[in-house]
């Protein structure tokens, strides 16, 4: 769904911490990095630039702990695995259906998981800050801060389409080739980011159900994807009523509990299709994720990822 590194991208590869530090510091300031496993670090970064927007694809072969404070507004989205962030006493998670927006100047710690592409979109922090002030001056200050960005449904497809357009616009072309202007694409990305920030800002009317309690429900969902999951069962896990749980999920995740269940089931199937082994089938994986009606599953999968599940399986089988 998201473009992979194009042939013309600038490529950096290293197993040496000092080299990695110097490379990252050159475009985003100083940071600290430590390996949490044995073996070569296998750090790599592919990057292209479209105007003032940097697009990157990060990968590591050894789990790493990264600490820093970005100079720009940076969006992180893993393509397969969960990555954990610690920010000011909070624990955040990036997943294939949830991005992390790192706020300029705010310290963070990232536990960078191995063997998983981390898609990176970097936008000058001042550009996003100005957009937020223009949109809602009163809420702009409260809206600044590192946060999770749920990417259910149209949010995910809109970001993926914009990412592909940015990558395509960064492709070297003949001078007379027709391409979108970099300034227009930067404005579109800034507009999209501002939409997500304002949609996930804290609300004085948001329910007090804590994020840690929400995570308990989410962990229960991930452990029971194959089982029938109803709103009533989730309320029992959370220990609250249905309206309260619905409001809490909308405040913290931007979607209802059952929409979250659907997104997690689709993400589980996609991850297993991308990591498929001989003998795996779309039907079996869909059933294992709790889908009963295969036709509805296929339609929802195509809507979320812009390809059929069988196409994902074919592409996975063709990879070396």
Q: What is the pLDDT of residues 94-133, one digit of tens each?
A: 988 899 999 888 889 999 989 888 999 999 888 888 888 8
Radius of gyration for the chain, computed over Cα atoms and rounded to the nearest angstrom: 20
pLDDT digits 0-9 by tens, 2-17:
888 888 899 999 999 8
**pLDDT, greater one: 208 or 277:** 277
pLDDT of residue 291: 94
Lowest mean pLDDT among 49-53, 136-140, 156-160: 136-140
- Say yes or no to pLDDT of 179 above 70: no
**pLDDT, greater one: 168 or 135:** 168
- Say yes or no to pLDDT of 158 above 60: yes
Lowest mean pLDDT among 99-108, 159-168, 171-180: 171-180
DSSP bridge pairs for 53: 50
Tokens of 28: 């985003």
Tokens of 176: 């007379």
**Which residues, 6 or more positions from 291, have their beta carbon under 8 angstroms from its beta carbon?**
265, 269, 297
CA atoms of 150 and 152, how far apart (whole Å): 6
- Say yes or no to pLDDT of 255 above 90: no
Neighbours of 241 (CB within 10 A): 11
pLDDT digits 0-9 by tens, 72-85:
899 999 988 889 99
pLDDT of residue 140: 57
- Residue of 59, 197, 173 lying closest to 123 (CA atoms): 197
- Say yes or no to pLDDT of 29 above 80: no
Mean pLDDT of all residues belonging to the chain: 85
pLDDT of residue 170: 87
Tokens of 257: 């509990």
End-to-end CA distance of the chain: 19
Give the residue-averaged pLDDT of 191-219. 72
DSSP bridge pairs for 56: 47, 120
Q: pTM for this structure?
A: 0.66
């Amino acid at each position: 769904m998201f473009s992979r590194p194009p042939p013309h991208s600038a490529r950096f590869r290293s197993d040496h911490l000092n080299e990695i530090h110097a490379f990252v510091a050159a475009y985003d300031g100083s940071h600290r990095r430590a390996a949490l496993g044995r073996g070569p670090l296998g750090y790599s970064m592919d990057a292209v630039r479209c105007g003032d927007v940097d697009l990157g694809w990060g990968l590591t072969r050894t789990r790493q702990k990264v600490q820093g404070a970005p100079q720009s507004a940076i969006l992180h989205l893993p393509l397969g695995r969960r990555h954990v962030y610690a920010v000011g006493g909070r624990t955040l998670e990036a997943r294939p259906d949830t991005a992390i927006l790192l706020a300029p100047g705010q310290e963070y710690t990232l536990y960078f998981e191995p063997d998983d592409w981390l898609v990176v979109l970097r936008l000058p922090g001042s550009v996003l800050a100005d957009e937020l002030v223009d949109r809602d001056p009163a809420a702009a200050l409260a809206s600044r801060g590192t946060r999770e960005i749920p990417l259910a449904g149209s949010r995910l497809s809109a970001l993926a389409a914009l990412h592909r357009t940015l990558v395509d616009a960064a492709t070297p072309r003949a001078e007379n080739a027709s391409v979108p202007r970099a300034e227009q694409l930067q404005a579109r990305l800034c507009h999209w980011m501002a939409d997500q920030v304002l949609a996930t800002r804290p609300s004085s009317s948001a329910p007090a159900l804590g994020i840690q309690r929400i995570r308990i429900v989410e962990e229960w969902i991930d452990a029971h994807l194959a089982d029938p999951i109803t709103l009533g069962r989730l309320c029992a896990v959370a220990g609250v009523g249905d309206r309260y749980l619905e409001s809490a999920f909308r405040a913290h995740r931007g979607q209802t509990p059952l929409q979250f269940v659907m997104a997690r089931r689709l993400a589980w199937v996609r991850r297993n299709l991308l990591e498929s082994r001989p003998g795996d089938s779309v039907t079996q994986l869909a059933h294992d994720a709790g889908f009963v009606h295969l036709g509805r599953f296929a339609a929802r999968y195509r809507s979320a990822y812009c390809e059929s599940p069988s196409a994902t399986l074919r592409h996975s089988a063709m990879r070396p």
